[in-house]
Structure 1
């Protein structure tokens, strides 16, 4: 192994030695503790330290890194205290994730490290978002995302590289090719000769580097960093290395031929660099022994602090409160409360269609927030599939109104990356049905990130959904219930123009991820008075549409209009209607009041009956309002089939087809 120090001083070379030796010594200590039963699990990076350490040394301290679970050198090189890292690994409350995560599934804003999730690929797209923010702010910075060779088989790898290339983002994608994805060798992962060859397919440059040569990794990353900043383009690096331990210690290494261990032991990145410093007379044997003694004492001291920990105290209120980031107050926005009676107000009202109210809310939010970006397929010059953003490019420019490739997962991930840099984003799913392609990013990254390590996801995902337009199984689904089961998300579903504008503005002002559902059939069929001003409707607060004393219909979206239509044509029945507006969190106070007014409740939604949110609401009422009921809570949902294309079949599918039957049944109980 040949080392080229180039312009590096002796002091720098020694600093590099300390930086690579420290995580090796920590790991060796962790393996002892594991055998002693003092820690429960360990993912070893022994043999790969040069990649994590060299790349981190080559970046500026305020440049974001997206590491994985074998990159201890990233965390130690960013000078994160070992005792707090140990708290993290042990799942203690003093750790970075307050005991809610283990291992390296955490991040730190102070250290510009983004915490991974077990699904490895999503890290890559977050780097896209960070670099987009850097680019927009005119900052000469890169972001760097790690991937294993196995991770390159994931769709997220393709999507992240494709978006970075199309948007000319200064991102470094760093593949640690250690030969095995757990036990699966590279021969069963890909057929290209080298992973770096994939770069050409994305129109980007790439290079392969000896991942066990600390100086080569450092020099390569430093040079690539300069290239990315100068040319504002991404770059792919394949670092060739070897994992000297199992995927995790419990996995063992029986699947690896012994001759590979013999070969790679000779390429040990720490030992070879140490030998180089000795041969170059940068350090003496005495110096090395002194450094090792110093680091050993530091490790023992830090571990003593790490073991000296407080018992875990479970505070239910704290756990619940940490699911969401706290929303700050704003004096610049009017908050309208129309939860009981129609809003009159003092501002000018006009009659707008639902689609126009959404457009106005989006436009005023763009005017209010210079750090708000709109992302989506065909939303720029074309104006989106439903023309909601038509004309926005002329007003706000293509930097803020961005057409995206067909990469839903990467765009959600990029939106999260924008949040790391303090940007807001709105992503439009062209149809709510397409959200399945980005499901992992939403459920496991956006929703959990604040609870895991205190980072908010300031992202709104607009979801044109619902049937009634004859669009069939892949453009008409009502899939809102998929997300109401996920703590950390907020789920909003307006039924009228006034609420749509105010709730969209509130969603954009909210620092948490919001799934904003818009019923396509209501876009141009429903109109109402909407104030000109910039205003919010409070998320989490239902609206009493109609007061009655015989039957309460609890509903949202299209169900509100079905309920009103029925009530208007059956005035002999005194019907109370509650529009939930927000499905997560639910307004349980308003639900309880609706039950109290009539004692008979029908929960109505367009979603299929089984698994719809109506089941949750009915269960809550049965548990908390049983003494107020005069009949069982009944549900009216759509058929438990995919939504059909044929209009007649679709009509029969819809819950509306069974509404009268269910009301009669409830009234006569």
Structure 2
């Protein structure tokens, strides 16, 4: 192995040695503890340490790194206290996830590290979001993220590299090519020789290094980082290496030919670098032993502290409380919130007709303008952009074109293309970028062109955004706008009501306004909330309803339902277009009914539901979503558990057919629940 010291001082070379040796010695200790049952699982990086150590030490301390399983050298290179690192692996409360996750599935902003999730690929897009934040703020910084050769087969790899290339983001994508994805060899993973062949196809530079040569890795990354800080763009860096142990210890290594171990054992990154330092007189035997004794002592002291920490005691309050970041209402906006909350009691009128005048309290808030549902959303988005200069909008065709529904029409002229960003068709990468922006203190809005397309970004939402705060205290300040719903004869892939996909996911908030006033207020509230918010907006309502909407900025409280019609005979609990169907039927039949608009689906307003159920005793749950698995089933079960003694009749549910959404208008009409609503109401009244 050839080590070219160039003009690096002895201190630098010894600094590299110390940091190269440390993760190797920690691993050797952890493998002993694993056999003793003191560590539950271990993903070994033995043989690959030079990549993590060399790249980490080449960056500035405040530049972010997004590591994977075998990148212990990133954490030790950033001098994370070993007692906390060991506590993390033991599932102790002093670990970075309080015992909620294991291994390197955590982040620490103090050390500018964002750990992985098990799905591997999503972190590449998060790195892009971090780099985007630096670029928008004119900070000359670089971000590093890692992928294994197996993980590079995932779609997230392609999306992240493509977005970074299009936006010229200063990210170094390091591919640790060790020849295997768990047990699957490279020849069964891809049909090319080296990953550097991919770089030009994405329009980015590609560089290959000997991943076992710590000095080569350090020098290459250092030079690349210096260049990228001045000329922002992504680079693909392929590090050739080999994994000397199993994917994780339980998997073993029987699937690897023995001759490969013999070949790569001669290329051991620690032994070779140590041998070279001794030969060059940079390191002597006394210093070698001193380094080892110092690291050994640090490991033992760290373990002593971690071992003394008891295993977590489950706290229901803490577990539930940490699922979401707290929302702090600023004093300057408190009165606005109160006025907006008062406005929530204002009645709304049926579909295709105008809303009545707003309450005097709301009118006192500001002047009002009659706005369509779509205009109210646009207005809320524009005012939020003015209020939050750190807010970035991302979506397909949202810039000059203004989006397919023209909600962001004219925004580029006011806010510029830096903050109103057209994206490639990369839903997963863009949602991941939103989390990266959050890590750097920004806010993000991601527009799904249609709610149906969110399935392409599903993993990022339910596993990355939703769990981030619970796992390591990092909020995901991201709003995902979801044009949803049927009634426009758009067929199975542009008409789905998929809100129930997300109401089952703790960590998310889900809102669904039914009228222009709430459409604006809930959107503004979503941007003030530090948690990820799924904002559903019904396409059929865009241009079919209007109401006097305050011109000023205001928020509608998330988590609070609105009673839009009062009655004494039955209660219809619904949301979205269902509100208009219920109001229309109530007018037609002169129903003496409560109509409760949930507005927020996660968390939904239990107290408002309880109040209307206790008052009327007859309950109908209505939603456009398919009947099976819809939110109505969850609320119905809750009512049965908590309000059974107040019921005078069985709970009725009305939803769409359990089929895909059909295209032909006659089939779509049958699919939707409107014509079944009347029968259910009559059945309930006659029980």
- Under TM normalisation by the shorter chain, which class is it? over 0.9
Alignment partner, residue 646 of structure 2:
628
Alignment deviations for residues 132-186 of structure 1 (CA, whole Å, 9 cap, x no partner): 0000111010111100000111100000000000001111000000111100000
Between the aligned partners of 2:512 and 2:547, the Cα distance in structure 1 is: 16
Q: Is the partner of 1:460 in helix, strand or coil?
A: strand
Shift of 1:214: 0.3
Corresponding residue for residue 421 of structure 1: 440
2:468 to 449, 473, 489: 449
Gaps of 5+ in 1: none
Q: 1:548 aligns with which of 567, 573, 596?
A: 567
Cα deviation, 1:586-630, whole Å, max 9, x if unaligned, reads 100000011012100000000000000000000000000001100
CA distance in structure 1 between the aligned counterparts of 2:605 and 2:8, rounded to whole angstroms: 62
Q: CA deviation at 1:38?
A: 2.1
Q: 1:37: Cα distance to partner?
A: 2.3
Q: Choose from 517, 526, 532 the match for 1:507.
A: 526
Match of 2:450 among 426, 431, 435: 431
Q: For residues 452-531 of structure 1, what are the structure 2 equivalents within 5 Å?
A: 452-531=471-550
Aligned pairs for 1:302-451 within 5 A: 302-333=302-333, 334-335=336-337, 336-337=340-341, 338-341=343-346, 343-344=359-360, 345=362, 346=364, 347-451=366-470
In structure 2, C-alpha distance between the alignment counterparts of 1:383 and 1:39, rounded to whole Å: 53
Q: Write the mapping of 1:66-465 to structure 2, written as runs, cut at 5 A.
A: 66-333=66-333, 334-335=336-337, 336-337=340-341, 338-341=343-346, 343-344=359-360, 345=362, 346=364, 347-465=366-484
Secondary structure class of the residue paired with 1:529 = strand
Alpha-carbon offset, residue 360 of structure 1:
0.4
590-599 or 331-340, which deviates more: 331-340
**Correspondences of 1:498-647 after superposition (within 5 Å):** 498-571=517-590, 573-647=591-665
CA deviation map 1:50-69 (0-9, x unaligned): 00000000011111111001
Contact (CA 8 Å) 2:107, 2:113: kept in 1 or not?
yes
Maintained 8 Å contact 2:214/2:273 = yes
Q: Tell me which residue corresponds to 1:652.
A: 670
Q: Distance in 2 between matches of 1:75 and 1:587?
A: 43
Q: How many residue pairs were aligned?
A: 668
Q: Quick one: distance in 1 between partners of 2:168 and 2:595?
A: 51
Output the CA distance in 2 between the equivalents of 1:112 and 1:599.
55
Q: C-alpha distance in 2, partners of 1:127/1:507?
A: 24
Task: Provide structure 2 residue ranges, at least 5 long, that are not aligned to the other structure.
Answer: 347-357
User: Does the aligned pair in 2 maintain the 1:126–1:417 contact within 8 Å?
Assistant: yes
Tell me the distance in 1 between the aligned counterparts of 2:253 and 2:479.
45
> Counterparts of 1:40 and 1:479 in 2: how far apart (Å)?
37
Greater mean alpha carbon deviation, residues 335-344 or residues 430-439: 335-344
The C-alpha deviation readout for 1:210-241, integer Å capped at 9, x for no partner, is 00000000011111112222221100000000
Indicate if the aligned counterparts of 1:548 and 1:597 stay in contact, CA closer than 8 A: no
TM-score (structure 1 length as normaliser):
0.99
Q: For residues 245 and 159 of structure 2, what CA distance do their matches in structure 1 show?
A: 31
Contact 2:559 2:602 in 1 (8 A): yes
| Alignment correspondent of 1:662 | 680
Question: What displacement does 1:408 show?
Answer: 0.3
Is the contact made by 2:344 and 2:556 (CA closer than 8 Å) also made in structure 1? no
Q: In structure 2, what is the Cα distance between the partners aligned to 1:82 and 1:145?
A: 23
CA-atom RMSD, angstroms?
0.8
Task: String of CA shifts for 1:452-489, please: whole Å, max 9, x gaps.
Answer: 00000000000000001110000000000100000000
Question: What is the alpha-carbon distance in structure 1 between the residues aligned to residue 382 and residue 198 of structure 2?
Answer: 40
Q: Is the 8 A contact 2:53 2:73 kept in 1?
A: yes
Write the distance in 2 (CA, Å) between the matches of 1:143 and 1:290: 34
327-336 or 19-28, which moves further after superposition?
327-336
2: CA distance, partners of 1:412 / 1:509: 18
- The TM-score, its normalising length taken from structure 2, stands at 0.96
1:540 CA drift (Å) = 0.3
8 Å CA contact 2:91, 2:311 repeated in 1: no
Deviations along 1:286-340, whole A, 9 cap, x unmatched? 1101211121111111111111112321110110010000112223431111343
What is residue 351 of structure 2 aligned with on the other side?
none
Q: Deviations over 1:555-596 (max 9, x none)?
A: 00000000000001111x311100000000010000001101
C-alpha separation in 2, matches of 1:509 and 1:473: 34
C-alpha distance in structure 1 between counterparts of 2:36 and 2:115, whole Å: 28
Deviates more, 1:442-451 or 1:333-342: 333-342
